Amino acid sequence: MPGSQRHGPLIARLVDAVGAAHVLTDDAVTKGYRTDWTGRWEGVTTAVVRPGSTAEVAEVVRACAGAGVPLVPQGGNTGLVGGSIPLDGEVVLSLRRLDTVESVDPVGRTLTAGAGVTVSTAQDAAASVGLMLGIDLAARESATLGGVVATNAGGLRVVRHGTTRTQLLGIEAVLADGSVLSRLSGLPKDNVGYDLVGLLAGSEGTLGVVTKVLMRLVTPPAHVQVAMVGVPSLAAAVEVLAGVRQAGLTVEAAEYFHAAGLSLVRSRLGLRAPFLDDHATYVLVETSGASEEDVVAGLGPLVGDGVVEPGPGGRLWAYREGHAEAVNAEAVALGSPAVKLDVAVPIPRHAAFEAALRDRVGALLPDITVITFGHLAEGNSHVNLLGVPVARADEATDIVLRLVVEHGGSISAEHGVGRAKRPWMELTRSAVDVATMLAVKRAFDPRGMLSPGVLLP
């Protein structure tokens, strides 16, 4: 029997809570909510529910709890670890209708907005008062504030402003029993008890449903220069960035990619080569407050080829930002989803890690293509393995993640654990650590109603 019929009384209660137009049960209509961005996970759902207010979210959570049907919160569904996908008939609780920017305060330098506001809308709102959101990522048009908070997203500005958690001043969230936790004072100093705001950041929908956020805003950078250079290796790229920082330049972003990724991006987007000569590795560095001459001097002697443009430098950024989509398109063309892993290692070991990665993966699966790119200042590699037979995806994942641990790294740099990395949690978290997280989970959600199977065993 289809889930919507089996759960008739629940569906009726959900319709009462949010209106029939916002309870979706037709398989064709719910497909986009049941399938992840990469196509690696496609689930089944009792219903997709689209509440329009915090009170409606609370009512939906109470209804699901009453019926004993778990739910999965979802924002823009751009997460890359399967955390927003219902695999076992869970209700999908879409927060996208909470899309109001409530206030932008240029004096307190804060933005208060519903969880469904996209990153790009929040960026525009901040810009309207001459300020900037300290978070940016290529998925900005679809990713929501609730989603970036729930995943503690990193992105392009971590080197300058930190991860999302450091930009989050307050939160409103509906807890598993339907009660509403609200900490929205935004006081810079407020040491009363546990940091529940920080705890909800990065909780991947397992501790509460984020309905509203209070974000810190920052001063936009002035005199921005975007430099792209070609270098002989990742080791050289790491040295170039170290030199730029040593020269005292303020780094707003620092990214890297390799020749194989550039080639995919160019053919997908129809871009011409950035330089006359090809290079093994490319670095994109955005600086502020310095002249073009200072930036050129800071880039140093390792550079084979280079170009510096005044910001925003969209033409140069396109080479880096096109990677995720180009890899996805190539995977579709090959007929098997890419194995996508987001990992971080200590910066001095980054180049050795990537070299070992190519060796180990190449020994296991000689015919696959390895594309890596990512955030240079955090030793953060987005590892994409193309052409891996689906039946061997876990084996390839295991090799990469164990190698990360050998290099003193983290199996999840910024995308979270979701469903994808859960079996490997114990590689970088001790038994005591996991047990403590489980105790926190039980305190917030004793019946396991929120995102079962995500993040924790």
Ligand X SMILES: Cc1cc2nc3c(=O)[nH]c(=O)nc-3n(C[C@H](O)[C@H](O)[C@H](O)COP(=O)(O)OP(=O)(O)OC[C@H]3O[C@@H](n4cnc5c(N)ncnc54)[C@H](O)[C@@H]3O)c2cc1C
In 84-163, alpha helices (H): 119-127, 145-151, 158-161
Q: How far is the CB of 436 from ligand X (least distance, A)?
A: 20
CA 6 to mean position of chain CA atoms:
35
Q: How far is the CB of 103 from ligand X (least distance, A)?
A: 19
138 closest CA partner among 125, 162, 161, 119: 119
The b-or-e profile of 314-345 (16+ CB within 10 A means b, else e) is: eebbebbbbbbbbbbbbbeeeebbbbbbbbbb
73 closest CA partner among 204, 215, 212, 214: 204
Q: Let me know how long the chain is.
A: 457
Residue with tokens 């193309």: 386
- Residue 147 contacts ligand X per CB under 6 A: yes
Nearer to ligand X, 72 or 411 (CB): 72
- Residue 104 contacts ligand X per CB under 6 A: no
Nearer to ligand X, 43 or 154 (CB): 154
Query: By rule CB under 6 A, what count of residues binds ligand X?
Result: 38
- Residue 23 contacts ligand X per CB under 6 A: no
Give the C-alpha separation, 276 to 305, whole Å: 9
Using CB positions, name the residue nearest to ligand X. Answer: 147
What are residue 240's phi and psi, to 5 degrees? -60, -45
- Residue 154 contacts ligand X per CB under 6 A: yes
109 closest CA partner among 95, 129, 123: 129
Cβ–Cβ under 8 Å, residues 3 and 45: yes
Q: How far is the CB of 276 from ligand X (least distance, A)?
A: 29
Give the C-alpha separation, 384 to 265, whole Å: 14
Which residue among 76, 178, 202, 313 contacts ligand X (CB under 6 A)?
A: 76
Nearer to ligand X, 151 or 281 (CB): 151
Cβ–Cβ under 8 Å, residues 36 and 83: no
Which residue among 18, 125, 454, 456 contacts ligand X (CB under 6 A)?
A: 454
Within a 13 Å sphere around the CA of 265, how many CA atoms are in the beta-carbon half? 23
Nearer to ligand X, 4 or 164 (CB): 164
The region of 24-32, 69-77, 190-198, 251-259 touching ligand X under the rule CB under 6 A is 69-77
- Residue 30 contacts ligand X per CB under 6 A: no
The region of 45-53, 67-75, 280-288, 294-302 touching ligand X under the rule CB under 6 A is 67-75
In 335-415, alpha helices (H): 350-364, 393-406
The region of 202-210, 249-257, 277-285, 356-364 touching ligand X under the rule CB under 6 A is 202-210
The region of 42-50, 100-108, 201-209, 384-392 touching ligand X under the rule CB under 6 A is 201-209
- Residue 209 contacts ligand X per CB under 6 A: yes
Give the C-alpha separation, 200 to 245, whole Å: 33
- Residue 74 contacts ligand X per CB under 6 A: yes
Nearer to ligand X, 4 or 412 (CB): 412
Q: Under the rule (CB under 6 A), what is the footprint of ligand X?
A: 37, 72-80, 83-84, 95, 115, 137-139, 142-144, 146-148, 150-151, 153-155, 204-205, 209-210, 324, 414-415, 418, 451, 454
